[in-house]
Chain A
Amino acid sequence: MAVDLESKDRFAARHIGPDEADVAEMLAALGLPSLEALVAETVPADIRLRGALALPAAVTEAEVLAELRALAQKNQIWKSYLGLGYSDCVTPPVILRNILENPGWYTQYTPYQAEISQGRLEALLNYQTMVTELAGLPVANASLLDEGTAAAEAMHMLAGVAPAAQRQGDAETRDAVFVVSAGCHPQTIEVVRTRAKPLGIEVSVVADVGAFDFASRPDKPILGVLAQYPATDGALGTAAGWRALCDKAHAAGALVVMATDLLALTVLTPPGELGADVAVGSAQRFGVPLGYGGPHAAFFATKEEWVRKLPGRLIGVSQDAHGQMALRMALQTREQHIRREKATSNICTAQVLLAVVASMYAVWHGPRGLRAIAERVGGLGAVLARGLERLGVKLRHGQFFDTLRVEGSASDVEAWLAAAQERRINLRRLDAQSLTIALDEATTAEDVRALWEVFSGGKTIQFSTSELAAEARLPWSADLLRGSPYLEHPVFNSHHSETEMLRYMRRLEARDLSLTHAMIPLGSCTMKLNATAEMLPITWPEWNRLHPFAPTSQTAGYQALFKQLEAMLSEITGFAATSLQPNAGSQGEYAGLLVIRAFQESRGQGHRDVCLIPSSAHGTNPASAVMAGYRVVVVACDDGGNVDLADLEAKAREHHDRLAALMVTYPSTHGVFEPAIKRVTSIVHEHGGQVYMDGANMNAQVGLTRPADIGADVCHINLHKTFCIPHGGGGPGMGPISVAKHLAPFLPSHPLVPTGGGPTGIGAVSAAPWGSASILLISWTYIRMMGAAGLKRATEVAILSANYIASRLKEHYPVVYRGAGGRVAHECIVDTRHLKKLAGVEVDDIAKRLMDYGFHAPTMSFPIPGTLMIEPTESEPKAELDRFCEAMIAIRAEIADIERGAAPREGNVLKNAPHTAAALLAAEWPHPYAREKAAFPLPYVRASKFWPPVGRLNNVLGDRKLFCTCPPVSEYA
């Protein structure tokens, strides 16, 4: 008998939960003969994709990893001393394996359900504490996307709070000036510029910010100043100089933002003590790999008085129902999902996974360890400087933290750069006559020697590092040395042995429900499998130790991968071009709208400024539209949850001359394929507008239809939803945009690396040219392993699973919306609003009770208050779907007990949920139901119980008595 040498192991079958038999059973439950029949009832015929996507053939896990290894060989890891806010560092192995490479930490979503998110909430509270203490400012958020966007957010916040802006009488930001020091990193300046333009803020870049005359602009209010400390060329300035700048600014009603470096702040006076109002920067060098640009966590700290204007997530301390300390996201009313077009930021999420890594780096090293790292980096810099002086090389700044600015003639600089190149060393050319060398935690004495050789002109070096170390002094000006203590909290002083550290991280991990425990059926979030094969390459050094501004000739592997991924995403969306720069879905929206704006300007239509948004839209849409300089006009939805065509037509006509764009989610946020979508998009086109498609629900489209086929001009793709980048507990994500041909010339560009639309592009929206480059590998790997057929099957099964759930639950909870064929798309909304009247039960009670059953609640109260939106994804096996449905049905029976009077309306098993082990074991048990029923309501729960670590959160207390840093140890349980 002949043997078959072909591998039978297909990744698609591993990724998709239900197997052939399950699919057959689920179809039977729906009374359907085939997946094709389901799709025919679900997706409107006029937008169906005929034929298969043109994608490379599927490969196995082993094959894709071999391919990635080969591609990785094309990336060259040179020693990079480029600085610019990115530093090589050492990720402590215990953190690398147990957090960065651990699905228990990377598969959760944003901690909306605080009771089962206490682990990462504690890590984030540590992060906030670390940032506030190092920056010397009392409040900090739970991280932002990157340093550039953090600086842009600071500018936007100032527009709302700066006294000079307030004096204008109107909170409007038009016609104000934001002064930016030329000492800032160039990509930061560019991201700020991109953001300022549509807001009408003038960015004035000045060479010497200390000498800036605030009286020089009587024409416009000056919001504030952005300065880099230490500066991009290494300059430190003086304490007196910084204080004078802050005083001058404050006297003029302006505020001061300092972009800074956490490691430097372990030894230098923090911005808060110098008088700054806001500190921003990147926490990357605290153990987060370079990743050719990301993902990293940025930070944002400010004064207490502006805490309600702070962008991004904020973690706060509160109590649970038993009076125990418990953590939660505080002040959510600041955010876009509540404020919509009134929001001052469109930020949805944080960079939780990376903020957790950075905070754990501080926990691991503690204040003394961090200072020792800073002193070593400074010491290497001092030794390098001394050697360079001996070689007759001139340094611009006698005092610096880690970055030396070397000066010479143009031909010297050329020669040094050539010598560096020969030794596979990247230096940053600042201008014709200077370059910089930025040292970091990974620099060694050997490296310093190699650097001397670059500058020795071929002569033998006559001195050694140890010899110079003996005579060198730390290169920090005495007036700037930090006197104040930091990180004195026990959490930063107790986990310095690996045993302690490992257990601390495991203890926190055990408090979070992740995909390693159960499905997380969050509607609109697509919590699908993040396969291990997709995750492996991101921590290979050839992918994650590259500096984002290393010459592209050293990153050929990445360049090839970007090209392929762009082509794949363009094919999947039906568009002509793709930009991988936007770092999050919200940033994709903002970038896409700016692209539309630039296109219209190029055709003399720059006055178009009305953005139509259906009332059902995610709150980010209106917030992004406002950031792009648009006026939001809301379009009504009809009773079926679809865009009201008559209202759309009326509003498009009314704003005919000003119509810029429509933002539409497809399938809709109501979880249905709107049959009239082509009519919707053509109405907008008839009135001169462009169509922006929000790609949040792309998981229902891949292989069945395409954004281009519904008539969109641009869309973003949440790679962290449809294309398997894990949610990281609340970030990172990636939101590339794909555009039709006429929009391609306007795609985001970058000041340091040619990309996107280049000179006609909208500028940079994120600090790195390809956003969080290293996690693009995940999506590429997924697409390579699935192939066109696998992707299509995934979409079909995602739709099947949602319809299966809708069908199982419909007798217990009404399904709010269905499409024309009676089917939902990849998610369904079930109604719980009537239960309040019937039994006093609210949607929160059901969400909390689900925790007792071992499940994370579906999306609560979006898009309709008082409902649950369930998205199972294709990855959940039928058995898990059944368990979830059984839990929902059992909860409905518990509610029925209340309706019948068999259980009280208060103090029942729902109102007291979730039940902690401590509450169940208390001597007193005053409740009218058995402990057994509380803890083990169904047989499967007994087999693997997830214990909620705290009881129901007291949200009101947390927002009334805001506390956002580590509380005293006595508070910890």
Chain B
Amino acid sequence: MSATYPDDLLYTKDHEWARLESKGEQKLATIGISRFAVDQLGDVTQVELPKEGESLKQAEVFGSVESVKAVSDLFAPLSGKIVKVNSPLADSPEYVNEDPYDEGWMIQIALANPDELKQLMDAEAYQAFLREQAE
């Protein structure tokens, strides 16, 4: 069981997270939604994701996640080309609820513009943002 808001991730105000890694010259980011988003949605019943090879711009809608009562768009935290998609989510959307930071990841992209990283929040800033929102 991972932490509620793991320290090694970056977060957005739309409640997506990104985990960075380097592969040779390439900077990759794995993307999913935060525990807060998961709690808001309730039991996820469907995750709609794009195809590998598509390019995304920061803040662009790349898919949607549905519960019984709500549907929410997914916004790309960073620009880049999609290199991997978590296809098991199609049959097992419950992974998003059970393990949002690991088995519940959604896509991995090769970053087009690493400068954008500056706009994301670390775990501490994100939690401060959540507290501020709750008020």
Contacts and interface: CB of A to CB of B under 8 A. Distances in A.
B45 A338 contact: no
Interface stretch (B2-10, B14-22, B66-74, B126-134): B66-74
Given A333-B66, A960-B93, A960-B94, A339 B71 contact: yes
A960 B69 contact: no
Contacts, number: 32
Interface string A304-320: 00001000000000000
Interface string A748-792: 000000000000000000000000000000000000000000000
A115 to B, nearest CB: 15
Contact of B70 (A338, A955, A956, A960): A338
Contacts of A332: 68-69
B93 A333 contact: no
Contacts of A407: none
B68 A959 contact: yes
A589 B72 CA distance: 26
A332 B67 CA distance: 10
15 contacts: A308-B46, A333-B45, A333-B46, A333-B66, A333-B68, A333-B70, A333-B71, A338-B69, A339-B71, A861-B69, A955-B68, A956-B42, A956-B67, A956-B68, A960-B45
B43 interface: yes
Given A338-B71, A956-B68, 10 more contacts: A308-B46, A332-B68, A333-B45, A333-B46, A333-B70, A861-B69, A956-B67, A959-B45, A959-B46, A960-B45
Interface residues of A, number: 10
A682 B45 CA distance: 45
Among all A-B residue pairs, the 3 with the closest Cβ atoms? A959-B45, A956-B43, A955-B68
Nearest to B94: A960
Nearest to A861: B69
Contacts of B93: 960
A338 B70 CA distance: 7
Nearest to B91: A960
Contacts of B45: 333, 956, 959-960
Interface in A731-761: none
Nearest to B45: A959
Interface string A339-355: 10000000000000000
A613 to B, nearest CB: 19
Interface string B32-65: 0000000000110110100000000000000000
Contacts of A861: 69
Contacts of A308: 46, 48
A338 B68 CA distance: 10
A333 B69 contact: yes
Interface in A940-959: 955-956, 959
Contacts of B48: 308
A680 to B, nearest CB: 30
Interface in A847-883: 861
Nearest to A960: B45
B44 to A, nearest CB: 9
A332 B71 CA distance: 10
Interface of A: 308, 332-333, 338-339, 861, 955-956, 959-960
Contacts of A959: 45-46, 66, 68
Interface in B62-116: 66-71, 93-94
Contacts of B46: 308, 333, 959-960
A469 to B, nearest CB: 55
A919 to B, nearest CB: 23
B28 to A, nearest CB: 25
B11 to A, nearest CB: 25
Contacts of A333: 45-46, 66-71
A653 to B, nearest CB: 28
Contacts of B94: 960
A955 B46 CA distance: 13
A399 B47 CA distance: 48
Contacts of B68: 332-333, 955-956, 959
A233 B15 CA distance: 58
Nearest to B93: A960
A666 to B, nearest CB: 28
Contacts of A339: 71
Nearest to A865: B69
A338 B94 CA distance: 21
Contacts of B66: 333, 959
B65 to A, nearest CB: 10
Most buried by A among B48, B68, B93, B94: B68
Contacts of B67: 333, 956
A956 B68 CA distance: 6
A332 B45 CA distance: 11
A861 B42 CA distance: 16
A190 to B, nearest CB: 33
A339 B73 CA distance: 11
B7 to A, nearest CB: 30
Nearest to A953: B68
Nearest to B42: A956
Nearest to A328: B68
A483 B101 CA distance: 51
Most buried by A among B45, B46, B93: B45
Contacts of A956: 42-43, 45, 67-68
A955 B68 CA distance: 7
A555 B20 CA distance: 74
A956 B70 CA distance: 12
A163 to B, nearest CB: 13
A861 B69 CA distance: 10
Contacts of B69: 332-333, 338, 861
B116 to A, nearest CB: 23
A956 B92 CA distance: 12
Contacts of B71: 333, 338-339
B38 to A, nearest CB: 13
Nearest to A955: B68
A18 to B, nearest CB: 36
B97 to A, nearest CB: 9
A960 B68 CA distance: 9
A253 to B, nearest CB: 16
Contacts of A338: 69-71
A333 B69 CA distance: 6
Contacts of B43: 956, 960
Contacts of A960: 43, 45-46, 93-94
A955 B42 CA distance: 11
A804 B67 CA distance: 37
Contacts of A955: 68
Most buried by B among A332, A333, A338, A339: A333
B88 to A, nearest CB: 13
A486 B104 CA distance: 41
Nearest to A956: B43
A595 B30 CA distance: 49
A957 to B, nearest CB: 9
A194 B2 CA distance: 55
B93 to A, nearest CB: 6
Nearest to B68: A955
Most buried by B among A308, A332, A338, A956: A956
A172 to B, nearest CB: 14
A959 B48 CA distance: 14
A710 to B, nearest CB: 33
B48 to A, nearest CB: 8
A332 B46 CA distance: 12
Nearest to A844: B69
Nearest to B71: A333
A337 to B, nearest CB: 10
